[in-house]
Amino acid sequence: MMEKWVVLQKRADFDALAKKFGISPVTARLIRNRDVIGEAAVDRYLNGGLSDLYDPHLLLFGERLAEILAERISSGAHIRIIGDYDIDGVMSTCILQRGITACGGNVSVRIPDRIRDGYGLNLHLIEEAKAEGVDTIITCDNGIAAIEEIACAKRCGMTVLVTDHHEPPYREEAGERIYIKSEADAVVNPRQPGCPYPCKVLCGAAVAFKVTQLLYERCGKRAEDAFEFLEFAAFATVGDVMDLTDENRILVKEGLARLHRTKNPGMRALILQNGLMTEQVTAYHIGFVLGPCINASGRLETARIALNLFLQEDAAAAGKIAAELVALNGQRKEMTARGVEMARRVVEEGGAGERVQVIYLPDVHESLAGIIAGRIRESYGRPVFVLTEGEEGIKGSGRSIEVYSMYDELCKCRECFAKFGGHPMAAGLSLADGVTPEVFREKINACCKLTEEDFISKIKIDIAMPADYPTAELVRELTLLEPFGKGNVRPQFADRGLRIVRAGVVGKSQNVLRLSLMTEQGRRISAVYFGDIPAWRSYYEVKYGAGEVQAAFDGRENAVRMSVVYYPEINVYQGIESVQLVIRYYQ
């Protein structure tokens, strides 16, 4: 994948900001690089708390939905929550179930089975609900695109309430978007046209949290009582890879603080089963350790397992469920690795298309398509769809690059699909009868306007900073920028001309490259690299020769010089602290 290193050049009076907020000019520059502009915004970024969350009353139709739901609760109606089988779906379902129950509601839950039911609200689930005496359906993390299904539920005499965060469906007429109207009694989605809510990138669980606040008010409870659900909304915000900007940053920051002292037996059990302590958990652990365990249940079994974990009151029972989820995730990892290798072969053999890669893997478990698409996207820097053979036809998931809105592109060839939906960066689809993977590949590429320039991965560097500049004090100050994630990435610095004093491969799996480097000024720096070590070695062997690289590994004088993109961290060895660089990219 081609790379271009770009040093950000955003301007502000960094010295003045540093003085006002008691931070270093380096940190002030980093905050500006994240498009936080003005003293008020900087103050909110650094010090934002619960009082800075947006008023849930700003959600279009939020009060109407809460009013209807409260009336349904008071009348004793059977309310059915229909969620989704991923992290966001599980967490939003958990929030609504506990919130409605706390208000005295007669509520049941149906999380669709990924293979048997498919995504979101469908006619089968409506018929099932009707047969079971359900009066009211409320969706979470789905429903915005279920136009026909909701119309059917209304014909059956049901009340239908939608809470979602996905893109509203539309059709284009003469270049203008015409949004398709839902017959639901109330739709709450910050992305829908006309909604004045300032933060458009809430996840489904955050929307459910806001709706629960409104419901509590309507039912005579304090809206603040819903703050007990912040840890679930934060977990979903990270797990669903939402932008950690604006309100989402505060939600995650506050949610993590609560998660560190969580009283939920299921959450505690999941953390402990993964070898962590509650106070250790960061956004990284949610995204790469804990979250995948929840997703594994919806991928390989049923997401009801994960939901039950967070509804448990007994610690021993929660421990058993958490252990099951960890085991499922291990199985999922093995299956994913095999699927990624199959996908790579398709790409290398030229069978994935051109600008948009469409990879057909009929024998891969359909639940793994999105993960595999993400891995291939990371390797090749192109939009990727992975299609699999499901029980009801060909299904697929896509992962995109920043300049390619996947959902908008799918709208251009909607005739290919029985069903589709998603975001700019990710989407899911089911091919219509008679549409083959080859036909879809041809049509999606025919719509594509990407150029070769779009495929050059831009590595954004915050500051060109000498490798020996970061101190332990600065590294600690950088924690003010946390939580890190999409939209609020970990700071990246760069330096060039670093000489390798010694290189060595360490770790139980021999998967860590440890480097002793020397700056041009003669200062010694310790660094580590966690990427593809054979590829690293091959790169420098081509550039300098195998003998020079071997000399570096032997600790002998050599000609190898590295330019690196890095971030600094504090390493503690035998009680002694030192700053080391974590290398992200190299040249």
> Which SS3 state, helix, strand or coil, does residue 392 take?
coil
Residue 177's DSSP bridge partners are 172
Topology at the third CATH level for domain 350-455 = Diaminopimelate Epimerase; Chain A, domain 1 (3.10.310)
Residue written as tokens 């700019």? Answer: 424
Question: Within its chain, how far is the Cα of 255 from the centroid?
Answer: 16
| Extents of the domains making up the chain | 3-9+458-586, 55-229, 350-455
How far is 492 from 235, CA to CA, in rounded Å?
25
> Any residues with CB less than 8 A from the CB of 15 and at least 6 apart, and which?
25, 28
Q: Are 457 and 3 in contact (CB under 8 A)?
A: yes
Q: What is residue 286's DSSP assignment?
A: I
Instruction: Give me the architecture of the 55-229 domain, per CATH.
Output: Alpha-Beta Complex (3.90)
Strands 463-464 and 170-173: unpaired
> Residue type for 131, please?
A
pLDDT in tens, the chain (587 residues): 688 999 999 999 999 999 999 999 999 999 999 999 999 999 999 999 999 999 999 999 999 999 999 999 999 999 999 999 999 999 999 999 999 999 999 999 999 988 788 788 999 999 999 999 999 999 999 999 999 999 999 999 999 999 999 999 998 888 899 999 999 999 999 999 999 999 999 999 999 999 999 999 999 999 999 999 999 999 999 999 999 999 999 999 999 999 999 999 999 999 999 999 999 999 999 999 999 999 999 888 889 999 999 999 999 999 999 999 999 999 999 999 999 999 999 999 988 878 999 999 999 998 899 999 999 999 999 999 999 998 779 999 999 999 999 999 999 999 999 989 888 899 999 999 999 999 999 999 999 999 999 999 899 999 999 999 999 999 999 999 999 999 999 999 999 999 999 999 998 889 999 999 999 889 999 999 999 999 999 999 999 999 999 999 999 999 999 999 999 999 988 889 999 999 999 99
Task: Extract the tokens encoding 179.
Answer: 């949004």
User: Residue 351 has what pLDDT?
Assistant: 81
186-188 β-sheet, strand order = 106-110, 78-82, 136-140, 159-163, 186-188
Q: How far is CA 577 from CA 114, 219, 573, in A?
A: 48, 54, 7
pLDDT digits (tens, 9 = 90+) for 339-381: 999 999 999 998 887 899 999 999 999 889 999 999 999 999 9
What's the pLDDT at 118? 79
429 backbone dihedrals φ, ψ, rounded to 5°: -155, 160
Q: What is the DSSP string of 27-49?
A: HHHHHHHTT--SHHHHHHHHH--
How far is residue 448's CA from residue 300's CA, in Å, rounded to a whole number? 33
Cβ contact 306:114 at 8 Å? no
What is the per-residue pLDDT for 225?
96
Taking the C-alpha atoms of residue 431 and residue 413, their distance in angstroms, rounded to an integer, is 11
Collapsing DSSP to helix, strand or coil, 207 comes out as helix
The predicted pLDDT at position 232 comes to 98
Q: How far apart are CA 526 and CA 467, in angstroms?
A: 10
- Of the CA atoms within 13 Å of residue 197, those in its CB half-sphere come to 30
Residues 6+ apart with CB under 8 A from 415: 432
Distance CA(475)–CA(481), nearest Å, equals 11
For residue 359, the one-letter residue type is I
Percent of the chain with pLDDT over 70: 100
Dihedral sign for Cα 444, 446, 449, 452, please: positive
The whole-model pTM stands at 0.91
For the domain bounded by 3-9+458-586, which CATH number is listed?
A: 2.40.50.140
Q: What pLDDT, on the 0 to 100 scale, is given for residue 299?
A: 84
Q: What is the pLDDT of residues 260-294, one digit of tens each?
A: 999 999 999 999 999 999 999 999 999 999 999 99
By the 8 A CB rule, do 181 and 192 touch? no
Q: How far is CA 75 from the centre of its chain?
A: 38
